[in-house]
């Protein structure tokens, strides 16, 4: 661990006016709060906040961000409080520390519905002060660098979360170096065999071809000197994950890859960038289709650079990036360049992007996603998108992700134009609507009154904005039909129990079922989201016929007479959930929930799959599930939790503590339930208890049948 003086020296190098006394005070406070705590590796816990702070000095960030890094785990893991930090270090730092704490508590690798909601919260936190996510990214980077001390299942969970959320977010913020390192560290956990194979091939290639990086760098410098241009030249090999991803995308072997080396040329002025480009293309043959000018058309995160690929020595492809020193600083720090300091003052970099403007481009249409699936799809599309730039007939530039079509182009201009598209012209030629657009093309959209989006369009577009608009239009178009159908289904259901349907009765049922109004209830019944029988039973419970009791020894349909049945320990499915059976030698049929991660292992063994379903009726409360709770460490709280579970006719079969802190407990409660509806009742009751901070159903893919 670096010393206190070392950290202050790192900050002082770029900010001579730093408040060293405040940083020392934060160091002493953090060390005192974390005293006695250790990491999984056995090191003192405070080595982690110090390492995070040191990482942020590489981005030349302000004192508030450095101090936040030193304190970022105090509220979560120690007896420290928001008010105490605000009193000692000011409200700004308290807000930042609290923001990082809230991000840490988000479970981004949970179920899709919860993941979507938590990613929304993450983006809201980012929009308030982006320094929160900078600290969180540095925190995740250090944790990934030291992940080997964690349990294998936790390593895999953190690596997947990093690969899906934090790495692409870092890339979208313009911090490409951090994205690449996070991806590669995750790759090392998730697919170590593939990574080691690529590293071995790299070593073999270097042994066979010598020091390629130095030779090509020397060639480039020689050409620039002949042209009288001053520039710095750096070469590097691409990261193993970047190479592996390209091999997967292009279905190539390692020996077929040609552009595994990249070079950067740092010039003095933007004009020199284009002069250098002329020298490079004059000396080496440019590869068609591999040129991008992000100087004239910068990315939303401020990234500017010229990218070109040329055929170098021995016909091998070489990727070259050309930019100025200021552009390079933004390329390294991304949106964080907005806070960068030099000589004690905020460095004024003309290419640094305003964080508020950047976050608005990321979240502009995310709130339009009506459901969790659409939101997650949109987030991931936005995170991973690379850009192409196309032109309207008037010369306006439209930025789109790679793979976009004329339909995406139309919706990017306006939803009304997208809804009315009948055809498109690209560079003056009529093209199909599924045509993939390329950089620099001019696109003309042809519309017609009366045209409506087609359901097939969903598969033709790649932007979240277009997908959301098409789905909304299709839903509105179907709504009138669903309302008519729902009204007829409800009329028949009411007549079946001798009751008269009325707007007042439907309004009452809608309120009881948490539906907006009677019209929406009709629409949901027509769309088969709610059954007409359920509406009638909600209003008139006495008309609901009693369901038969289900024998716990034979609870599923689909088994042969001689086949036995057990629930998979990895997912512990409940009656009411969709299930599938897998045959295991000596174990009979094991039922997995349809969304169980373990099922992916049997994709290529269809002969082992058995179609199962739970029998209709009332199941006995014998099906165990595990609930992980975080509760306040106050007198009587645990008793109230147990009483609530008992009041809902659920039996507690086991209880164990995971973590005991001065202000809260984390524990796992195993309960026996009738089915998924019973589970929701119990979880809703516990969630409503003020002393319960968090509740989740836990599943463990490592528990194989």
| Residues taking part in catalysis | 76-77
Q: Which residues pair with 582 in a beta bridge?
A: 590, 609
As a whole number of angstroms, the distance between CA 340 and CA 59 comes to 7
Phi, psi of 423 (to 5 degrees): -165, 180
In 10 A of CB 700, how many CB atoms?
A: 13
Count CB-CB contacts under 10 A for residue 385: 20
Give the DSSP H/E element, type plus range, for residue 593.
strand 588-593
Antiparallel, parallel or unpaired: β 623-632 and 664-673: antiparallel
Q: What is the Cα–Cα distance from 551 to 530, expressed in whole angstroms? A: 28
Tell me the three state secondary structure of residue 576: coil
CA–CA separation, 332 vs 595, rounded Å? 39
Give whole-number Cα distances, 219 to 212, 306, 317, 553, 601, in Å. 11, 19, 14, 77, 50
Minimal CA–CA distance to 672: which of 691, 695, 688, 648?
648
**8-state DSSP, 550:** P
- State the Cα–Cα distance between residues 682 and 648, nearest whole angstrom: 6
Nearest to 217 by CA among 263, 258, 261: 263
Structure tokens at 29: 């406070």
Exposed e or buried b per residue across 326-360, where buried means at least 16 C-beta atoms within 10 angstroms of its C-beta: bbbbbbbbbbbbbbbbeeeeebebebbbebeebbe
Instruction: Confirm if 584 and 607 have CB atoms less than 8 A apart.
Output: no
Span between the terminal Cα atoms of the chain, in Å: 43
List alpha helices for 429-569, DSSP H: 464-496, 503-512, 518-526, 532-539
Please write down the long-range contacts of 680-688, taking CB distance under 8 Å and 24 or more positions apart: 681/648, 682/627, 682/644, 682/645, 682/648, 682/650, 683/627, 685/644, 685/647, 685/648, 686/627, 686/629, 686/641, 686/644, 686/645
| Contact (CB, 8 A) for 15 and 60 | yes
Closest CA to 6 of 62, 65, 64, 66: 66
CA 18, CA 529: separation in Å to the nearest integer? 60
Taking every pair of C-alpha atoms in the chain, what is the biggest distance, in angstroms? Answer: 96
Query: Coil, helix or strand for 89?
Result: helix
Please say whether the beta carbons of 325 and 268 come within 8 A. yes
Distance CA 81, CA 170 (A): 29
**In this structure, are residues 505 and 539 in contact, taking their beta carbons and an 8 Å threshold?**
yes
Cα separation, 174 vs 387, whole angstroms:
13
DSSP character at residue 335: G
Dihedral sign of CA atoms 52, 98, 86, 659 in order: negative
Contacts of 54 (CB under 8 A, 6+ apart): 2, 7, 10
């Amino acid at each position: 661990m670096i010393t206190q003086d070392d950290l202050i020296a790192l900050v002082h190098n770029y900010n001579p006016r730093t408040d060293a006394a405040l940083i020392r005070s934060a160091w002493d406070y953090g060390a005192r709060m974390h005293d006695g705590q250790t990491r999984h590796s056995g090191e003192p816990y405070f080595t982690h906040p110090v390492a995070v702070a040191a990482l942020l000095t590489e981005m030349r960030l302000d004192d508030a961000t450095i101090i936040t890094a030193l304190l970022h785990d105090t509220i979560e893991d120690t007896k420290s409080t928001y008010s105490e930090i605000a009193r000692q270090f000011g409200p700004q730092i308290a807000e930042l520390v609290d923001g990082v704490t809230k991000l840490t508590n988000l479970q981004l690798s949970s179920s899709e519905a919860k993941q979507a909601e938590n990613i929304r919260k993450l983006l809201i936190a980012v929009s308030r002060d982006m320094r929160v996510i900078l600290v969180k990214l540095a925190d995740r980077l250090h944790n990934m660098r030291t992940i080997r001390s964690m349990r294998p299942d936790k390593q895999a969970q953190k690596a997947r979360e990093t690969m899906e959320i934090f790495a692409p977010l870092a890339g979208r913020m313009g911090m490409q170096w951090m994205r690449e390192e996070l991806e590669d560290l995750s790759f090392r956990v998730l697919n170590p065999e593939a990574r080691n194979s690529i590293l071995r091939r790299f070593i073999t290639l270097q042994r066979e071809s010598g020091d390629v990086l130095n030779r090509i760098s020397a060639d480039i410098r020689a050409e620039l000197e002949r042209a009288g241009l001053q520039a710095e030249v750096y070469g590097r090999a691409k990261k193993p994950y970047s190479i592996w991803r390209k091999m997967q995308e292009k279905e190539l072997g390692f020996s077929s890859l040609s552009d595994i080396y990249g070079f950067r040329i740092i010039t003095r002025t933007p004009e020199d960038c284009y002069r250098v480009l002329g020298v490079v293309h004059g000396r080496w043959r440019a590869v068609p289709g591999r040129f991008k000018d992000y100087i004239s058309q910068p990315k939303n995160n401020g990234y500017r650079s010229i990218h070109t690929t040329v055929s170098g020595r021995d016909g091998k492809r070489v990727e070259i990036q050309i930019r100025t020193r200021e552009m390079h600083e933004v390329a390294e720090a991304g949106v964080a360049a907005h806070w960068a300091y030099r000589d004690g003052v905020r460095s004024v970099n003309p290419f640094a992007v305003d964080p508020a403007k950047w976050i608005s481009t990321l979240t502009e249409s995310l709130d339009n996603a009506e459901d969790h699936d659409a939101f997650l799809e949109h987030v991931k599309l936005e995170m991973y998108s690379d850009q192409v730039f196309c032109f309207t007939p008037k010369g306006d530039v439209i930025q789109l992700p790679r793979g976009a079509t004329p339909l995406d182009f139309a919706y990017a201009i306006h939803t009304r134009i997208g809804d009315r598209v009948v055809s498109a012209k690209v560079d003056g030629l009529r093209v199909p609507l599924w045509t993939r657009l390329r950089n620099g093309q001019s696109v003309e959209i042809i519309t017609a009154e009366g045209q409506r989006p087609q359901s097939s369009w969903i598969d033709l577009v790649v932007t979240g904005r277009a997908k959301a608009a098409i789905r909304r239009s299709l839903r509105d178009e179907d709504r009138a039909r669903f309302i008519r159908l729902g009204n007829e289904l409800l009329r028949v259901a009411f007549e079946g129990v001798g009751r008269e349907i009325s707007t007042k009765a439907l309004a009452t049922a809608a309120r009881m079922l948490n539906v907006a109004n009677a019209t929406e209830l009709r629409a949901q019944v027509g769309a088969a989201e709610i059954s007409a029988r359920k509406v009638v039973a909600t209003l008139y419970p006495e008309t609901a016929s009693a369901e038969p009791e289900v024998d716990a020894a034979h609870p599923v349909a689909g088994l042969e007479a001689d086949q036995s049945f057990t629930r998979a320990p990895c997912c512990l499915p409940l009656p009411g959930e969709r299930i599938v059976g897998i045959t295991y030698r000596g174990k009979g049929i094991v039922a997995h929930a349809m969304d169980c991660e373990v099922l992916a292992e049997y994709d290529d063994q269809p002969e082992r799959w058995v179609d199962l379903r739970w029998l209709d009726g009332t199941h006995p409360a014998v099906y165990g599930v595990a609930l992980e709770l975080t509760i306040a460490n106050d007198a009587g709280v645990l008793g109230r939790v147990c009483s609530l579970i008992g009041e809902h006719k659920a039996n507690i079969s086991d209880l164990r503590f995971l973590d005991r802190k001065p202000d809260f407990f984390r524990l796992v409660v195993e309960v026996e339930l009738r089915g998924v509806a019973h589970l929701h009742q119990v979880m809703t009751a516990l969630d409503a208890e003020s002393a319960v901070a968090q509740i989740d159903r836990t599943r463990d893919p490592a528990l194989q049948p």
